Amino acid sequence: MIEGPIGVGKSSLAHKLAASFDSSLLLEKPAENPFLERFYAAPRQYALATQLFFLFQRVGQLQQVAQEDISRPGRVADFMLEKDPLFARINLDEDEFKLYQQVYRNLNIEVPTPDLVIYLQAPTNVLIERIHKRRIKYEFGMDASYLQRLSDVYTDYFHRYQRTPLLIINAAEINPVDNESHYTSLVQHIARIEAGKHYFNPMVEAL
């Protein structure tokens, strides 16, 4: 599974890794959320509806994976369900977040355990540049402070993360999507990971 803040390059990397490892893709579908564009225009008014739609959508996707034949090839996902409470924490007010937590707990979600989680991180200015580059109109006005808060909760979450092997990549300094040398080094590095927390640096890999 690949995680990280908005604009960091999760989906692009997921496509490349799925092709390299002959795996199927499990991708988020933000375009299907009817509240998302309205959320960016009026965050306080549409935060709860946006968040609950994403929660049910992500749970539905993971439930479908759990029901599929385990003999099918591996899968690369550009999200993990644990991201949902992270977004909820910064998007919802106190009462809404309490309601969200009740809904989340009562869903009795069984989440597949990934073999590896890749956390992509980048500074806010890089995220904004990449968001503008993908030219989704309603994202253009995204506030830098919002992206910084999101990056902060991700950093805190993965600082404490121990559930699976974890690979942390500074996506501002390393570009495995467009740089084939970086990407080849990344694939080789992934193949060697068995447990624990790791950091990817292609300059070190080349030594």
Q: DSSP letter for 108, please.
A: -
Note the pLDDT of residue 207: 44
Which residue range forms the structural domain that includes residue 13? 2-205
- CB distance 38 to 138 below 8 Å: no
Instruction: Write down the residue that tokens 């937590």 correspond to.
Output: 101
21: Cα within 13 Å, side-chain hemisphere: 21
CATH number at residue 184: 3.40.50.300
- CB distance 69 to 18 below 8 Å: no
Note the pLDDT of residue 160: 94
Tokens of 176: 């495995």
Note the pLDDT of residue 71: 52
Note the pLDDT of residue 133: 86
d(CA 8, CA 129): 10
Q: How many domains does the chain have?
A: 1
d(CA 57, CA 14): 19
Q: What parts of the chain have a pLDDT lower than 70?
A: 68-73, 203-207
Cα-Cα-Cα-Cα dihedral sign, residues 188, 190, 196, 198? positive
Query: What are 141-157's pLDDT values in tens digits?
Result: 788 999 999 999 999 99
The helix (H) or strand (E) run that includes residue 119 is strand 117-121
Note the pLDDT of residue 204: 54
d(CA 37, CA 24): 29
Angle at 84 between CA 80 and CA 86, to 5 degrees: 110
